[in-house]
Structure 1
Amino acid sequence: MRKILLCLLMSSSLLSCAQNNPAIPDLYKEVKFKNKNIHYRLGIQVAACNFSLFINDVPVVRNFEEASGTFNTSAPVNDLILKSGKQHFKLILYPGFKNGLPLPALAENILAKITVEGLKYEGEGVKTLIDPFTILEIGGEGKKFTEKGKTTAVYEGTFEAKVPYDLTAWSGSKDLRKEDPATLEKEVLAFYQQYISIVKEKDEKALARLVYEKEKYYAQALFLGQDGSQAQWDAYLDLTRNSTLVMMPLEKYKMNFYANGRLVTLERIDYPNIGEPALRSESQENGRTVVGFYFCQLHKREGSNQLELIH
């Protein structure tokens, strides 16, 4: 079985944007500051433990697997940087798993290193605007790891980022932690079921209406060009046109809040799916089962009681 992460995000707004706004493949025409594009990426290296990494209290990368070897990746974070200034990061370390069972405490040989760099895409080329710099280093030649024997260790700090845009996104949204959790969870589940119904009914017009505002935000944050906007829409169309794709039941999840309570989502709590989106599909590819999972981070605009997907 193979897993794929599909960053298909939805808005629950039923506004008829398809009639009054350009189609999603044309959103690149609304992107500003293309000549000033800068793409921030994190270099992430963590060894001998599991972890969650957040930028501005929104998850970037998580890893909950067997506690062996070193996890290495590079992750884009422009969609978590809403405006220039200080950006907050938080790394939470957890004991890993052994034979499918969680270890009781953090080991002494843990290593972690997080770097930031700024890139500019110029056609087919990439130019380095900001050389990689380290914002956190634990173990090895960095800060000594002193949390051996604990069940978690938390490291926080800030770094400066400069972007040409200033995006509202969820920055002025309601703090959903203040709402009745049972009522809110019912609303979130209703949203998820709406998503599932659209995919089952293969209603591409409804899908276009639902994702428009999210895609507009995403296009600007990533400075998408024509190919990028088309690729976003093509990924959505795969949901409605893949004849083998089946949406899976929502199960083994927990409602979690991010962005200081302004975002809410459902995430799996079962190993080895811990922290993954609860919204999932299965499809067939070359005789193999492919599991897709889809981020749905919802917010409520100030003055509104309607959930919309913004990230």
Structure 2
Amino acid sequence: MNNFNVFGKIVFMLFSLLFPYFIYGQTNVVLDKLTTLESYLKVYDANVFDHSNQYLRSNDKGVWNGIPLKEVYFYDEYFSSSIDTSVKNSANKLVAYLEQTYGDNLIVDQGYYRRNYAVTTRAVEINVYLDLKEDDSMTEDTGGTLSVSFTKVIDNPLANLSEELQSNKEGISYELVIVCENVLPTILVNGIPILAKMEKGKYSLNKAIELNKYILDKETPIDLSFTFTPGIDENGKLMTTIPKKSSIEIALEYVNAKGNVTKSVQLYDNSAYVTDTIVKNGETRYSTYYGTNEYGMKEVLFNHQFKAPVDYKLAGWSNGKDLCKEVNLEQRIKQFYADYAALILNKDINNITQLLYSSFLEKYTYNYNNTEQKSYHDYEDLEYMLQNIFKVVTAKDTKLHISNNGQLAYLEAMDKTSYLKAVGIDYIENISFMFFIDKNTNELKIIR
């Protein structure tokens, strides 16, 4: 009996000594105050977690703005965790917090197996993935993950734009959807080519082209012009006429902020089932396949004009001079590119910012400041380019395009995918601009 009491005292003393270690793995780390990269790094560098070593830093439990978490893992510039479903309605509370706090900046994307709630600001990027299929509703035990990434905030006018502009969740984007087979397309908006040069040997296309960048307001008509010429045969040679086994489908789609198509207008469709009659050895058979009845033509031409009821009004190039009257316009544009290339090589971010600001301001107006790519991301991409390039390359063969109203100019590279290329190790940035000349200052300016 006495021995048992002694043993019991020893066990009690050991438990008392080790108890803090038992509960340490169950402590909640409060994450609410981690709102900037600097505040996150203070916690990360202190390395005060349940499980901490040079390879792994984690906490068994955590709390983020009142939402219970588990399995919280800490990395150089972000942390990730699972939603603690042992506490009922954790996922519901998390979504409610995001909706209330971030409003129009919250983007919801439904995949087949999971639903993503994404928020991007200059300082943080939040992603919540819930285990919900398309038609599922949240329940009290819905599970998922939360990750929060932190970014260094740079005080630059380009980077600031998305924080300064309101997001418009009601704004409609217009997309031109081109699906074609065995033909080579050329597409112009108001006389300006909008389709990147196709790769050699590529003669099929399935592409959506955003049109808002060419739309200044809801009153100005937009002219679309299409030319389709014969594609390339199986031997890599350009065909002389459009073949039977080809097709062209063109649609104009209205897309809301969630990426859903709210309306689709078919502009052109020459696809059909074509039947060949084959006579061989006195026997007749028929071969039916997907193609077109408009075969044998040298080209297919099509035009369409429309007005887009956009929810913005841009100055754009409306204050531009008539470029058709300008002397040496192409040379002036090439000189602009040469000067811009020098800024790139000199890593002159301040002057590049000044040149790009107006076009960036309009970009985040016509996309309603509502895309996942924000101005601070564009700025980061610009910085990355400047840090990683070591030379620039320009096109030799060019073609100058002037818009139908004479105010907008674009220099197309015929021998490259863009007029100017910034080249680094395993890195190439294609750079092409559209220009106008300000009536008041006679200055050549980037606008797109």
User: After the TM superposition, which residues 184-263 of structure 1 pair with which residues of structure 2 at under 5 Å, given as runs?
Assistant: 184-224=329-369, 228-242=374-388, 244-263=389-408
Identity of aligned residues (%): 20
Q: Is the contact between residue 250 and residue 279 of structure 1 (CA under 8 Å) also seen in structure 2?
A: yes
Amino acid paired to 1:254:
K
Cα displacement (A) at 1:208 = 0.9
1:46 is the counterpart of 2:187 = no
Instruction: Note if contact 2:216-2:313 (Cα within 8 Å) is conserved in structure 1.
Output: yes
Counterpart contact for 1:135–1:159, Cα < 8 Å: no
1:24 alignment counterpart = 158
- Displacement of 1:75: 2.1
Specify the alignment match of 1:264 in structure 2.
Answer: 409
Whether 1:170 and 2:317 are equivalent positions in the alignment is yes
Q: Does 1:298 align with 2:444?
A: no
Contact 1:50 1:65 in 2 (8 A): no
Pair 1:120–1:188, CA change in 2 (3 A): same
| Per-residue deviation, 1:63 | 4.8
In the alignment, structure 1 residue 157 sits paired with structure 2 residue 298 = no
Q: Which residue in the other structure is 2:83 paired with?
A: none
Are 1:47 and 1:68, in contact at CA under 8 Å, matched by a contact in 2? Answer: no
Distance 1:130 1:28, change over 3 A: same
Aligned AA for 1:26? Answer: N
1:90 CA drift (Å): 1.3
Q: Report the secondary structure of 1:161's partner residue.
A: coil
Q: Which residue identity does 1:176 align to in structure 2?
A: L
Letter of the 1:148 counterpart: G
The one-letter code of the counterpart of 1:157 is H
CA-atom RMSD, angstroms? 2.9
1:74 lines up with 2:220 in the alignment: no
| Structure 1 position 222, deviation (Å) | 0.9
Find the aligned partners of 2:165 and 2:211 in 1 and give their Cα distance. Answer: 18
Counterparts of 1:55 and 1:265 in 2: how far apart (Å)? Answer: 12
Q: Which moved more, 1:301-310 or 1:196-205?
A: 301-310
Deviation at 1:144, TM superposition (A): 6.0
* Corresponding letter in the other structure for 1:306: E
- Provide the rounded CA distance (Å) in 1 between the counterparts of 2:188 and 2:355: 27
Residue 207 of structure 2 aligns to a residue in which SS? strand
Tell me, in whole angstroms, the C-alpha distance in 1 between the residues paired with 2:291 and 2:224: 17
Kindly provide the CA deviation profile for residues 190-230 of structure 1, in whole angstroms up to 9, marking residues without a partner as x.
10111100000001111111111111111101112596111
CA distance in 1, matches of 2:196, 2:244: 20
Aligned residue number for residue 421 of structure 2:
280
The gaps in structure 1 that reach 5 residues or longer are 1-20
Q: Which residue type is aligned with residue 38 of structure 1? A: I
Distance 1:301 1:146 in 2: 45
Match of 1:4 in 2: none
Q: Distance in 2 between matches of 1:143 and 1:165?
A: 41
Q: Decide whether the 8 Å contact of 1:64 with 1:96 is kept in 2.
A: no
Q: Greater Rg, structure 1 or structure 2?
A: 2
Equivalent position of 1:179 in the other structure: 326
Stretch deviating more after TM superposition (69-78 or 139-148): 139-148
Whether the 8 Å contact between 2:201 and 2:236 is mirrored in structure 1 is no
Query: Which position in structure 2 is the counterpart of 1:91?
Result: 226
Counterpart CA distance in 1 for 2:158 and 2:306 is: 33
Shift of 1:110: 3.1
- The separation in 2 between residues aligned to 1:184 and 1:110, in whole angstroms, is 39
Gaps of 5+ in 2: 1-154, 274-289
Q: List per-residue Cα deviations over 1:26-79 (Å, max 9, x = no partner).
A: 112443561432222222101111111223333332454456663111222211
Cα 1:222–1:200 shift into 2, 3 Å: same
Distance 1:175 1:144, change over 3 A: farther
- What CA distance in whole angstroms lies between the structure 2 residues aligned with 1:232 and 1:266? 23
Cα distance in 2, alignment partners of residues 245 and 303 from structure 1: 37
